[in-house]
Amino acid sequence: MSQEPNCIFCKIAAGQIPSKKVFEDEDLIVFHDIAPWAPVHLLIVPKAHIVSHADLTDAHAALAGKMMVLAPKLMRELGVTGGFRTVINTGRDGGQEVMHLHMHVMGGPRPWAKG
């Protein structure tokens, strides 16, 4: 598994930086975002250093599928029942701030939304 020594997500995956972990297996680590945009805001991060969504290849199909299937499972486990949002920012122009593939999964009641 390739890792970049200066990548914050590689350091989190390696256990060098603490996180509020929700899930971990041999391929992925999932943790709460430190600056959440919703009551439940997770980051699903591959342990292997993949720069962005644009860098996925056919060889990553199982990994990408695993990320997509894991998102609703974790939201259900965390009590999110009214829906959630998944976002993958890709590249600088796409709003990606950390150059390591990651999926934001955000859910829970939005206090600013009209009833």
Q: DSSP assignment, residue 63? A: H
Rg (CA), the chain: 14
Mean pLDDT calculated for residue range 50-73? 98
Which sequence positions are flagged as catalytic?
Answer: 102
Quote the CA–CA distance of 28 and 10 in Å, as a whole number.
11
Q: What is the pTM of this model?
A: 0.93
DSSP three-state, residue 21: strand
Q: Which domains does the chain show, CATH number per domain?
A: 8-107 (3.30.428.10)
Mean pLDDT calculated for residue range 32-49? 96
Q: Tokens 């290849």, residue?
A: 57
In DSSP terms, which residues pair with 40 in a beta bridge?
107
Band (4; pLDDT cuts 50, 70, 90): confident
